[in-house]
A and B are shown apart, each in its own frame.
Chain A
């Protein structure tokens, strides 16, 4: 039917209004976008525009009021191991050690594996995020950054087809965040996972993603633009800022968040034109 890996068609979320005859409140509507296999896509938008709701719908943890999501041509109807989730608050099970948190996921993914296979696979991913010495620590004994590393290892260890990340670095300090971002790039470039990530951080989005979806303010938020990042990989935090396209892209994004996100929201922009995000590209060779 289609060659698209992930297709989101006319997605909307509404909540019943307060009071008897109140209109339902629309958080977002007309969300249409696709994700290619192996693509790293970030979503940026102000709080309350429904980014997390979209992610939860993709994860199968929440239901859309309208529209549908197709993965490999099949509709998503509930949570699945094919879609791994990394939550902002890590969501590690506190009574299990770092290693046990991973084996928990690996066992769920491959129930027929032998114990030593599970263990070896889990250890490999924990070592990949640099937690070799902390295998047997409980999450309460780990720092925020280390906990998020465990959470990343857990998600990658199950090798999902689509990885969903909800502001994974939002609770970390800037230095730790930078280090883990680069680790994420390293793991991602090995596995070439397809990633859908929510962030508040413009620089983070430019560093990590192939494409950024920009959401307008809610209520009646929509995905207004799809911006391709015109900076070749491999990227590093210190390297990208010297690329001629870096500030052009960054200015475009910041301008959107500060000025246009309000004007472009669904309330002021009804009609057919607003249904699909406008594709924005920068010429890669230009200066």
Chain B
């Protein structure tokens, strides 16, 4: 029974988790002094001068509390984790959707036309390495709305991988399949939809997967800047509240949601996959 690889790796994962959480827990116990506290220590709320990272037990306790009521809304600075994540996911999806709306057709264009590729390539190469957050001041000035600016930042960071992957996928469609379209007298639009799109779909999906990963990385930083709502704002707000347990909890939630977004697109990629 122990010979099965999935079982053994699952076992190892659990062991690693226990060791990690155990040592974290043990290293961060609140100090217990045998002497009674001095007046100063009582005033400061403890025996130690040093703040400690909350142990996993505290984080788990908080997580249970937060997750049992994730959508409560008690004013601008006190919303449930579900609401905050919801805002972030909404911004990511809207920005990502508009990016796809532009990137995939333009990617088709530059993938099919060497002229367009050579004409647009210099701009893409200059714009692509710009940190999306660098656009934030300009976006705030032009759009004059922090919510829309955050979405714009997501848009601008997720457009490039989709654009380049679409162009790459389209320009690398096998010549034979294009010839099949030609010998069957397909119109350019039918060729694009019936032959090029399905042939390039796996590459396009890979680009979308990279894009959504980057978008999820960027939204946290963008929300720290614009504030108001969202998981990025939440992390920064809890840091200002010195509530490290909440910070750790939200870090884990960011990871979890990022993983789910990626899994969703990985599943979509499976649907358009084909074997030659």
Given known contacts A93-B195, A95-B199, is B276 in contact with A83 (CB within 8 Å)?
no
Q: Are B186 and A91 in contact (CB under 8 A)?
A: no
Sort chain A's interface into a size bin: 20 to 34
Chain A window 75-117, contacts with chain B (Cβ cutoff 8 Å), 1 for yes, 0 for no: 0001111011101010101110000000011001100000000
Tell yes or no: B275 within 8 A of A by CB: yes
Q: Are B185 and A80 in contact (CB under 8 A)?
A: yes
Chain A window 145-177, contacts with chain B (Cβ cutoff 8 Å), 1 for yes, 0 for no: 000000000000010000000000000000000
Tell yes or no: A140 within 8 A of B by CB: yes
In Å, the complex CA distance between A39 and B19 comes to 80
Q: Are B183 and A61 in contact (CB under 8 A)?
A: yes
Given known contacts A61-B179, A85-B179, A104-B194, is B184 in contact with A94 (CB within 8 Å)?
no
Using Cβ atoms and an 8 Å threshold, which residues of chain A touch B274? 94-95, 138, 140
Interface of A is mostly: loop
Chain B window 119-157, contacts with chain A (Cβ cutoff 8 Å), 1 for yes, 0 for no: 000000000000000000000000000000000000000
Using Cβ atoms and an 8 Å threshold, which residues of chain A touch B195? 93
Q: From A59, A78, A93, give the contact of B198 (CB < 8 A).
A: A93
Q: Are B184 and A91 in contact (CB under 8 A)?
A: no
Q: Are B186 and A108 in contact (CB under 8 A)?
A: yes
Q: Are A93 and B180 in contact (CB under 8 A)?
A: yes
Using Cβ atoms and an 8 Å threshold, which residues of chain A touch B272? 95
Given known contacts A85-B179, A91-B176, is B276 in contact with A108 (CB within 8 Å)?
no
B273, closest chain A residue (CB): A95
Using Cβ atoms and an 8 Å threshold, which residues of chain B touch A93? 177, 180, 195, 198-199
In Å, the complex CA distance between A91 and B175 comes to 9
Tell yes or no: A219 within 8 A of B by CB: no
Using Cβ atoms and an 8 Å threshold, which residues of chain B touch A85? 179, 183
**Closest Cβ of chain B: how far from A73's Cβ, in Å?**
20
Tell yes or no: A274 within 8 A of B by CB: no
Tell yes or no: B182 within 8 A of A by CB: yes
Using Cβ atoms and an 8 Å threshold, which residues of chain A touch B179? 61, 79, 85, 87, 91
In Å, the complex CA distance between A138 and B201 comes to 17
Tell yes or no: A38 within 8 A of B by CB: no
Using Cβ atoms and an 8 Å threshold, which residues of chain A touch B183? 59-61, 79-81, 83-85
Using Cβ atoms and an 8 Å threshold, which residues of chain B touch A83? 183
In Å, the complex CA distance between A83 and B185 comes to 10
**Closest Cβ of chain A: how far from B151's Cβ, in Å?**
34
**Closest Cβ of chain A: how far from B244's Cβ, in Å?**
50
Using Cβ atoms and an 8 Å threshold, which residues of chain B touch A104? 184, 194
B180, closest chain A residue (CB): A91
Chain B window 238-276, contacts with chain A (Cβ cutoff 8 Å), 1 for yes, 0 for no: 000000000000000000000000000000000010111
Q: A60-B183, A94-B274, A138-B275 given. 17 additional CB < 8 A pairs?
A: A59-B183, A60-B182, A61-B179, A61-B182, A61-B183, A79-B179, A79-B185, A80-B183, A85-B179, A85-B183, A87-B176, A89-B176, A91-B180, A93-B198, A94-B275, A95-B274, A108-B185
Top 3 A-B residue pairs of the complex, sorted by shortest distance between their CB atoms: A140-B275, A95-B274, A108-B184
22 contacts between A and B (CB under 8 A): A59-B183, A61-B179, A61-B183, A78-B182, A79-B182, A84-B183, A85-B179, A87-B176, A91-B179, A91-B180, A93-B177, A93-B198, A94-B274, A94-B275, A95-B199, A95-B201, A105-B184, A138-B274, A138-B275, A139-B276, A140-B274, A158-B184
Q: Report which A residues bind B (CB closer than 8 A).
A: 59-61, 78-81, 83-85, 87, 89, 91, 93-95, 104-105, 108-109, 138-140, 158
